[in-house]
Structure 1
């Protein structure tokens, strides 16, 4: 990959609760990423993916159609920014379910986080997700955007109050995602990342 080539960044909205802040945070990050020359941006909202919450360990059983429909979008990504809320010091079940449905789509790709919550700002959920993505053979970056006490960022009529205090964090996150996305893309092109698990059947 040449330095001038654009990278595909997938921003994954992990929280699925009504009235969630995550979609506003995802669009906030996407707006900044689209101002750059190095990213093409897709925002994927798990509430519209309709992934089933029951799976089988038998690789001979084909993946459900909703899982197959989302797979090409994840597979085409060079980098991921995962937007997550913190529920009881952990990540949302909808997000963990989405990660577990896929294998090679995550392999040898960088993952950054935009998190939100109360006083902890969602960082406990990010700590949990770092372990999950490590087992998914992805590489998480340390730069993180954290919105503490996120309910204070809602303005009149439910508008997101855009402030300057997280802008530098967003720049650092996107810069580091870009660096690792280019490096890992070159590495995968030189030597494909081997799949450690049996491939699931596809229809």
Structure 2
């Protein structure tokens, strides 16, 4: 028996690059389509270019949950509703995009005890150096990185003339494996999330 959509855990997919002409948008769109086909999650796709968070402008440490700006409160509520996270990231100069770090740093407890997966893209390294840096950051926020990931090397080869993604079998299998692992860990971490502090 299929669960109703509202009963499914919520997966937030964050598109981390805001650069004009970025590949992150079509890659994030492709992964979201794959996640919908998987059927294990409700989806919330966050394009940081559309979210438009200013550079961190809250005077208090986010662990205090004393937010002064509407954009922060809205971002907090949106992340709080998520049960699992997937970050779609480029690799710029061996690291990940600054707007992504900014979006993460706005919040604190909202990230706790959530499994997180990564879809990365780049050249020969397929964005994996950016992912290794991100794992240090998300670990400090008590998130749990899953082992499976989607790493796309020399990404232009997978872009059609219209800009959409033509995945290969490795990308498809990796995406499905990561979604399965996110679903398993989401269930295991559910009790911890239910008891996490608000502030």
Cα distance in structure 2, aligned partners of 1:109 and 1:161 = 30
Alpha-carbon distance, 1:153 to partner? 1.6
3-state SS, counterpart of residue 130 of structure 2: helix
* Correspondence list, 1:1-203, <5 A: 5-59=7-61, 62-189=67-194, 192-194=195-197, 199=199
Unaligned runs of 5+ in 1: none
Q: CA deviation at 1:56?
A: 4.5
Three-state SS of the structure 1 residue aligned to 2:148 is strand
Q: Which of the pair is proportionally richer in helix? A: 2
Instruction: Classify the secondary structure of the residue corresponding to 2:11.
Output: strand
Aligned-partner SS, 1:143: coil
Separation of aligned partners in 1, 2:139 and 2:125: 22
C-alpha distance in 1, partners of 2:96/2:68? 24
Report deviation, 1:100.
Answer: 0.3
| 4+ runs deviating over 4 angstroms | none
Shift of 1:155: 2.0
* Deviation per residue, 1:3-59 (Å, 9 max, x gap): 954110010000111111111111111112112332111110001111111335534
- Matched pairs, number: 192
Normalised to the residue count of structure 2, the TM-score between the two structures is: 0.89
Contact 2:18–2:48, Cα closer than 8 Å, also in 1: yes
What stretches of structure 2 of length at least 5 have no aligned partner?
A: none
Report the RMSD for the aligned CA atoms in angstroms. Answer: 1.9
Measured in 1, the distance between the counterparts of 2:77 and 2:153 equals 34
